[in-house]
Amino acid sequence: MTSTVGPPPYYENSGFQPENVYSARQPVGANPYAQYYSTSAPSVPSYVPRVDTRQSTRPVAPSPVRTRASNVKKILIIIISILIVICCAIAAFFIWYFVQSGCLNSLIECGSSGVCVTASQWCDGVNDCPNGEDETRCVRLFGPNFTLEVYSPVSKSWYPVCQDDWNDDYGKIACKDMGYSVDTYYYSRGIVTEVSSKIYMKINTSAGNADLYKKLYASDSCTSGNVVSLRCIECGLSTKSVSAMNRIVGGSVATLGQWPWQVSLHVQGTHVCGGSIITPQWIVTAAHCVEGQLSEAYRWSVYAGILNQNKMVLGKGYQVQLVISHPDYDTDSKDNDVALMKLETPLSFNDSVRPVCLPNPGMMFQPNEECWISGWGAEYQGGKTSNNLNYAMVPLIEYSTCNSVSIYNGMVLPTMICAGKLVGGVDSCQGDSGGPLVTKKNSVWWLVGDTSWGTGCASPNRPGVYGNMTVFTDWIYKNMQANR
- Residue 124 DSSP symbol: S
CA separation for the pair 431, 433 (Å, rounded): 6
CA dihedral 434, 459, 390, 437 (to 10 degrees): -40
| 299 shares a domain with 419 | yes
- CATH number for the domain harbouring residue 472: 2.40.10.10
CB atoms within 10 A of CB 85: 10
pLDDT at 108: 75
List Cα–Cα distances, 262 to 44, 221, 254, 391, 435, in angstroms.
47, 44, 11, 11, 7
User: 244-270 pLDDT, tens per residue?
Assistant: 443 333 458 999 999 999 999 999 999
Whether residue 320 is found in the same domain as residue 467:
yes
Neighbouring-strand partners of residue 385: 378
Q: Are residues 227 and 193 in the same domain?
A: yes
Q: What CA–CA distance (Å, rounded) separates 419 from 426?
A: 10
Confidence band (pLDDT; 50, 70, 90) for 126? Answer: confident
**Alpha helices in 130-287, H assignment, sequence order:** 133-136, 168-177, 212-215
Q: Alpha-carbon distance 313 to 327, whole Å?
A: 33
CA angle 138, 142, 145 (to 5 degrees): 135
> Which entry of 238, 288, 325, 432 is annotated as an active-site residue?
288
- Among 124, 164, 177, 337, the one annotated catalytic: 337
What is the model's pLDDT at position 138?
Answer: 84
Q: What 3-state class would DSSP assign to 109?
A: strand
Report the DSSP beta bridge partners of residue 373. 392, 437
**Which of 433, 450, 452, 459 is an active site residue?**
433
In a domain, 191, yes or no: yes
Say which CATH number the domain at 216 has: 3.10.250
Q: Give the pLDDT score at 115.
A: 85
* Pair (390, 477) in one structural domain: yes
Q: How far apart are CA 85 and CA 125, in angstroms?
A: 46
Percent of the chain with pLDDT over 70: 78
Q: If you average pLDDT over residues 389-417, what whole number do you get?
A: 96
Q: Is 243 a catalytic residue?
A: no
Considering the domain architecture, whether residues 320 and 363 belong to the same structural domain is answered as yes
Distance between CA atoms of 202 and 218, rounded to whole angstroms?
6
Average pLDDT, the chain: 82
Whether residue 291 is contained in a domain is answered as yes
In a domain, 451, yes or no: yes
The verdict on whether 288 is a catalytic residue reads yes
| Furthest-apart CA atoms within the chain: distance in Å | 102
**CB distance 302 to 320 below 8 Å:** yes
Mind listing the pLDDT tens digit for each residue in 355-384?
999 999 999 999 999 999 999 998 888 888
Average pLDDT over residues 184-197: 87
- Domain boundaries, position 167: 140-177+187-231
**Is 217 found in the same domain as 158?**
yes
Q: Are residues 215 and 288 in the same domain?
A: no
**Is the alpha carbon torsion for 103, 107, 109, 115 positive or negative?**
negative
